[in-house]
């Protein structure tokens, strides 16, 4: 089983829709969590960090559930420009450095 797992999608949603992605992680020692966005053939860029209490940045909401070991990303009022791959990242530093990327969830927002 992979340490970080995501549904690869694609999620095809109409403009204006709300869409949510989940990401599960297997190591309970994981310390910090992030969502990155990657456009086709480009480098990943930080979308937002994920805090224990949940956090919001405009149309984006991230949540962490340590008990069930998953993080989520909610996108409200989807825009065409939100079409991208969303990477879940789990970080822990115990012995060997670990900054583990999920394989990503692909989102297509349709006009």
Sequence-ordered alpha helix ranges (H) in 1-107: none
- DSSP-derived secondary structure letter, 8: -
Query: Footprint of another protein on this chain (CB under 8 A)?
Result: 31-32, 34, 42-46, 49, 87, 91, 93, 96-97, 99, 101-104
Q: How far is the CB of 92 from another protein (least distance, A)?
A: 9
> Measured from the CB atom, is 39 or 77 closer to another protein?
39
Which letter does DSSP use for residue 77 in this model? S
Nearer CB in complex with another protein: 12/91? 91
The minimum distance between CB 103 and another protein, in angstroms, equals 4
* 41: three-class secondary structure by DSSP: coil
Q: Three-state DSSP class for 101?
A: strand
């Amino acid at each position: 089983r992979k340490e970080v797992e995501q549904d690869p999608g694609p999620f095809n949603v109409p403009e204006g829709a709300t869409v949510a992605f989940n990401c599960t992680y297997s190591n309970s020692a994981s310390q910090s969590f992030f969502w990155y966005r990657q456009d086709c053939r480009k480098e990943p860029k930080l979308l937002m960090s994920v805090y224990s209490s949940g956090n919001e940045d405009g149309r984006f909401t991230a949540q962490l559930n340590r008990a069930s070991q998953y993080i989520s990303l909610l996108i409200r009022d989807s825009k065409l420009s939100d079409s991208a791959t969303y990477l879940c990242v789990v970080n822990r530093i115990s012995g060997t450095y670990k900054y583990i990327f999920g394989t990503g969830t692909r989102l297509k927002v349709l006009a």
